[in-house]
Structure 1
Amino acid sequence: MAVHTIDNDIHAVAVKDAENFEIPNNLAIPLTEKNMYSYHHEENKENTVLPQASLGILRYKGKEKVNEMNLVMPSHITGSPVLSTTTIMKIAKEQLLHYTSQNYDAYSIIFSPLIADLGPSPQVTEKAEFTLLLLVSAEMLTNQQFGRAKKLLNLCINFSFPTSNPVQRVVYYFAEPLRKRINKGTEIPILRANVDALNPDGMEEVLMDPRIDVIETEQMLPFRKVTQFTGIQTILDCIKLLKRIHLIDLGIKTGSQWTILMQALVGNGECLLELLKITAVGTSLIRMQEIGKRLTSFADTLDLPFSFKTVVSDLQNIKKDLFESKVGEVVAIYADSRLWTLLAWPNHFRSLIQVIKSLDPCVMVVTEIEANTNTPIFIDRFNEALFYYSAIFDSLETCIGWNHQHRAVAQGVYIGKIIENIFTSEGEVMVHRHEKLESWTALFERFGIAETELSHSSLYQAKLLADKSTCHGFCSLEMDGKSLIIKWKGTPIKSLSAWRFPHV
């Protein structure tokens, strides 16, 4: 498709009454195997789906505006300065704010002529233009301009793929649920893209017992390794000289992290251990039994006294007697991105905390997503999710690459579903909510749970992992009070904190 043809089509439409705006048929790029291959394998070219200045929606004074954001990637890593996906989103967002502050009608922005380049490259300008289409769509949806919003969302979807560059992937996975939100209100059926042919299980099942390809994708990201190893070190610092240890994992996933702890327990030369018991919580008994067999076999090779128990339950229905805690056992709790799934049900969250308190743990290690998508205001959720998941897609591109066998599943089954719930659900049915560390701190304090210092050894472990990561320079660490924040190219991704309970 010739670039000038698309330009002509768009600008011809621009002169029409905006109310009658229709997307030309020849704007749709068919999602065929041939097109996908050509799109990703052209050598030495920046792949594009929108022509330069075709929408004409950016106004910037030059490179200094980008530099003010302080999110340009170091050249020693990439060979040349590269803007992160989140930075491009922020550029587009600031441009939208500039227009709205000048009382521009949001719809008219997309037809304004381009008067200045962004500075770093035409490709960055183009990506920001493409993002601005999505931002304008969200503004229109907020203002109940559903017809206009839907037409722009259709344009976003037609020009984006779930397997293209990070900006286009973000636009795709955001535009789809926004369109679904509109259709949900008007009861119009929606045709989904091929990614939904995966036919994923219910979201609750995905959260409690995620697919192995989702877990393996997550393991390739540096912030996952940092939180996992640092969390294990934090627990180890509390239990390493104890005789009977009971670890409760509220979402065990593969359980591989506990082999690391086992090795540390027998390798420090001071092991007084009489029993290490791990209780796994999940909804798939078969998967947990398989994990238990692997861990038991590994413990046997170390001559480590070991017991593995399962609790087949979601977190909403946890009871104390399910854990079979014995007198003399010291309990430690490991909650890896699990507590957020109860934010939609405060009563269930309160019940879980009461159960945990009754077990009198020596420590609870908590890892959570560092984003706030729990606000009742739609546009605030949109903006928060946009910047957060832009960083996630950026990390997938950098650490894994576009064509990895597991990435499409992780995007479509896990990330895509969470984004969809954030946008298409309101009130009690908006079950997939995240809060930032400050909110968790306030929440735990209301239950009398005190934040405790992360040890020097655990923080050393975190720094070592971040420095030795293949994505060194992109993953950074920052202390927030006593807790650790892991960032990707400046955007907070995960928080890691440790908590002590008052004695029962």
Structure 2
Amino acid sequence: MNTLPTTEEQNQQHHQNDFNFDHFMLEDFSFEPVPQPKQPLQETKEPKNKQVLPSSLASLELLSHYGSRFKRVEKQNISHSVETCVSTPQKLSTEEIIRLAGARYIQHSTQWHDDVCMPMHPYGFGFGILSEEENRDVELAQFLLAAAERVGCQQFERASVLLFHLQWNPSGGGGSPVQRVVFHFAQALLERIKRETGGGKVAVNKSENNNEERELIGNLISDTKKAVICHQKIPFNQVMQFAGVQAIVEQVAFQTKIHLINLDIGCGVECTTLMQALAERNERQVELLKITAIGLKGKTELEKTGKRLVNFAESLNLPFLYKVVYVTNIIEIKVEQFDIEDNEAVAVYCPIILRTMVSDSDSLEHLMRVIRKIRPTIMIVLELEANHNSPSFVNRFIEALFFYAAFFDCIETCMKEDYECRVTIEGILSEGIRSIVAMEDGERKVRNVKIDVWRRFFARYRMVETTFSESSLYQANLVAKRFACGDFCTVGKNGKCLIVGWKGTPIHSISAWKFL
């Protein structure tokens, strides 16, 4: 691992901190505004007589927001797109199927006004390019889009009729990735209908006592075998991990006492990578590496992680200290709990945890104030690069559909031989879908926002984004290519941060920050 120290110019621009936090949260932790349709769909009751709905380009605004993905829907362009995709051994990706379904739905939206079934073979152009399964998948996605539009219009009976056509679809474990995505979104729509109508009319194949997303992730981490398989097969975590660790190593290159604060340590895999990199330093050997984990729950698992890290440090002959700061709520965290010494170089690692606090402004603001008082040498932030926070239900649905379509495609590609692990991960993704589609307002505890929103938020604390070095970018790309499916994992840049995606669809962002 290349750990040569690098230098970079310090950005001395000071950011203003003169606006209300609650106002900021409402404006910035929400979807970017889209043009309002000329004929907004505001129907709240089922009409006595069936009426032709306005075009989906008006009601499904986000389909047009995707720009080039949907603008070229003429016969020759769609035909060329499909021919290009199927001329290679690779089948159409899950997102491409959804994209074709969206183009089809936009073109023929008026034919759905009576909730009639569309032709079995998409496009009606008379070419048999798609396989029978792909044709069926496109049709399923069209029914899903039509149902979502009607749910957005509060036309719940019509939506239920459309969702009835999806009930044959296999449960989360079987079928193509498109069928599984459609299944989970359809179940979430059914739950939303049940909530909106007061229950009883719509049967939901989902336990009311299902664990939340974070708890499911915790269960996966506690199953070491599954966690290791997922880490070894899915490239995202390792790509971000190596890029982030490289950035930390470069920032502490001249320090001998290093303190890593990990806000969500899990199995601590990124910690072992950091330990190995520090142990390999030829100059300025490390006198002490301290790792402090934040413990909200799961004391046993945190202790197991600590034991593994202690044993690994001993095998490297690396001076090491592990500590857990146990709190019941983020609001209880205090600077004094970290026992920071004057001669320590502190790094903060935030692995996909801040999104869980977006809906809890007090906790998020408190955490950032504590981190600012600590003034770490560097803060690494990993987050989902997605916007699932729109006040418009249909917009939120479409954003989530494309994001999760890409994620399910990744799981299918990377874990074909690991059925149990795939089902476990898709169960976690399903809970995220349920939160986005079936719930509203305070019920949604996890909010995903993109890097531009985080930049505006961090600016309040006079945080300056730093560029990842060429070495960090090299590490990220090198790790991605080591995976069997690595050619599909993309690593790009958005300003100074890195964007990790799947077949061009952004999935994660990783950014590095300093405090002025």
Higher mean C-alpha displacement, 157-166 vs 171-180: 157-166
Using the TM superposition, give the Cα deviation of residue 336 of structure 1 relative to its aligned residue in structure 2, in angstroms: 0.9
The residue number in structure 2 matching 1:84 is 93
Which amino acid letter does the alignment assign opposite residue 426 of structure 1? E
1:421 matched to 2:428? The reply is no
Change (3 A) 1:495 1:70: farther
| Separation of aligned partners in 2, 1:443 and 1:202 | 26
1:97 matched to 2:106? The reply is yes
Using the TM superposition, give the Cα deviation of residue 66 of structure 1 relative to its aligned residue in structure 2, in angstroms: 5.7
1:183 matched to 2:194? The reply is yes
SS of the aligned residue for 1:251 comes to coil
The residue number in structure 2 matching 1:240 is 253
Q: How does 1:240-259 map to 2 (within 5 A)?
A: 240-259=253-272
Using the TM superposition, give the Cα deviation of residue 118 of structure 1 relative to its aligned residue in structure 2, in angstroms: 6.1
| Separation of aligned partners in 1, 2:380 and 2:149 | 39
Change (3 A) 1:386 1:221: same
The residue number in structure 1 matching 2:461 is 447
Which amino acid letter does the alignment assign opposite residue 406 of structure 2? A
The residue number in structure 2 matching 1:128 is 138
The residue number in structure 2 matching 1:110 is 117
SS of the aligned residue for 1:431 comes to coil
- Unpaired segments ≥5 residues, structure 2: 1-47, 51-71
1:467 matched to 2:481? The reply is yes
- Unpaired segments ≥5 residues, structure 1: 1-16, 20-58
**Equivalent pairs: percent with the same residue?**
34
The residue number in structure 2 matching 1:154 is 164
The residue number in structure 2 matching 1:331 is 346
1:305 matched to 2:287? The reply is no
Change (3 A) 1:467 1:203: closer
Using the TM superposition, give the Cα deviation of residue 120 of structure 1 relative to its aligned residue in structure 2, in angstroms: 3.0
* 4+ aligned runs moved over 6 Å, structure 1: none
| Separation of aligned partners in 2, 1:69 and 1:450 | 44
The residue number in structure 2 matching 1:54 is none
The residue number in structure 2 matching 1:33 is none
| Separation of aligned partners in 1, 2:301 and 2:83 | 45
Change (3 A) 1:437 1:351: same
Q: Is the contact made by 2:412 and 2:422 (CA closer than 8 Å) also made in structure 1? A: no
Change (3 A) 1:435 1:212: same
Change (3 A) 1:140 1:192: closer
Which amino acid letter does the alignment assign opposite residue 193 of structure 2? I
Using the TM superposition, give the Cα deviation of residue 252 of structure 1 relative to its aligned residue in structure 2, in angstroms: 0.6
Q: Is the contact made by 2:83 and 2:129 (CA closer than 8 Å) also made in structure 1? A: no
Using the TM superposition, give the Cα deviation of residue 408 of structure 1 relative to its aligned residue in structure 2, in angstroms: 1.5
Which amino acid letter does the alignment assign opposite residue 407 of structure 1? R
Q: Is the contact made by 1:71 and 1:84 (CA closer than 8 Å) also made in structure 2? A: no
TM-score scaled by length of structure 1:
0.81
Using the TM superposition, give the Cα deviation of residue 307 of structure 1 relative to its aligned residue in structure 2, in angstroms: 0.5
Change (3 A) 1:106 1:353: farther
| Separation of aligned partners in 1, 2:359 and 2:80 | 39
Using the TM superposition, give the Cα deviation of residue 104 of structure 1 relative to its aligned residue in structure 2, in angstroms: 4.5
Alpha-carbon deviations, 1:169-193, whole Å to 9, x = none? 0001100011000001222256554
The residue number in structure 1 matching 2:491 is 477
SS of the aligned residue for 2:346 comes to strand
The residue number in structure 2 matching 1:341 is 356
SS of the aligned residue for 1:287 comes to helix
| Separation of aligned partners in 1, 2:84 and 2:375 | 44
The residue number in structure 1 matching 2:447 is 433
Choose which of 128, 138, 149 in structure 1 pairs with 2:148: 138
Which amino acid letter does the alignment assign opposite residue 151 of structure 1? V
| Separation of aligned partners in 2, 1:355 and 1:209 | 29
Alpha-carbon deviations, 1:38-84, whole Å to 9, x = none? xxxxxxxxxxxxxxxxxxxxx97556316559994893xxxx24211
Q: How does 1:31-50 map to 2 (within 5 A)?
A: none
| Separation of aligned partners in 2, 1:255 and 1:160 | 36
Change (3 A) 1:74 1:444: farther
Aligned length: 438
Using the TM superposition, give the Cα deviation of residue 200 of structure 1 relative to its aligned residue in structure 2, in angstroms: 5.3
| Separation of aligned partners in 1, 2:83 and 2:453 | 27
Higher mean C-alpha displacement, 200-209 vs 425-434: 200-209
Which amino acid letter does the alignment assign opposite residue 264 of structure 2? G
| Separation of aligned partners in 2, 1:431 and 1:489 | 29
Using the TM superposition, give the Cα deviation of residue 112 of structure 1 relative to its aligned residue in structure 2, in angstroms: 5.4
Alpha-carbon deviations, 1:342-373, whole Å to 9, x = none? 11122221111111111110111111111100
Alpha-carbon deviations, 1:106-163, whole Å to 9, x = none? 4445345863246531332221111101110001111111012112223313223212
The residue number in structure 2 matching 1:32 is none
| Separation of aligned partners in 1, 2:489 and 2:87 | 12
SS of the aligned residue for 2:307 comes to helix
TM-score scaled by length of structure 2:
0.79
Which amino acid letter does the alignment assign opposite residue 234 of structure 1? A
Which amino acid letter does the alignment assign opposite residue 166 of structure 1? P
The residue number in structure 2 matching 1:224 is 237
1:295 matched to 2:309? The reply is yes
SS of the aligned residue for 1:233 comes to helix
Higher mean C-alpha displacement, 314-323 vs 279-288: 314-323
The residue number in structure 2 matching 1:272 is 285
Using the TM superposition, give the Cα deviation of residue 448 of structure 1 relative to its aligned residue in structure 2, in angstroms: 1.6
Higher mean C-alpha displacement, 139-148 vs 115-124: 115-124
Q: Is the contact made by 2:166 and 2:186 (CA closer than 8 Å) also made in structure 1? A: yes
| Separation of aligned partners in 2, 1:495 and 1:70 | 32
Alpha-carbon deviations, 1:432-467, whole Å to 9, x = none? 210111111122123221110101211110111122
Q: Is the contact made by 2:112 and 2:146 (CA closer than 8 Å) also made in structure 1? A: no
Change (3 A) 1:72 1:444: farther
RMSD of the alignment, in Å?
2.7
Change (3 A) 1:382 1:133: same
The residue number in structure 1 matching 2:414 is 399
SS of the aligned residue for 1:406 comes to helix
Change (3 A) 1:185 1:71: farther
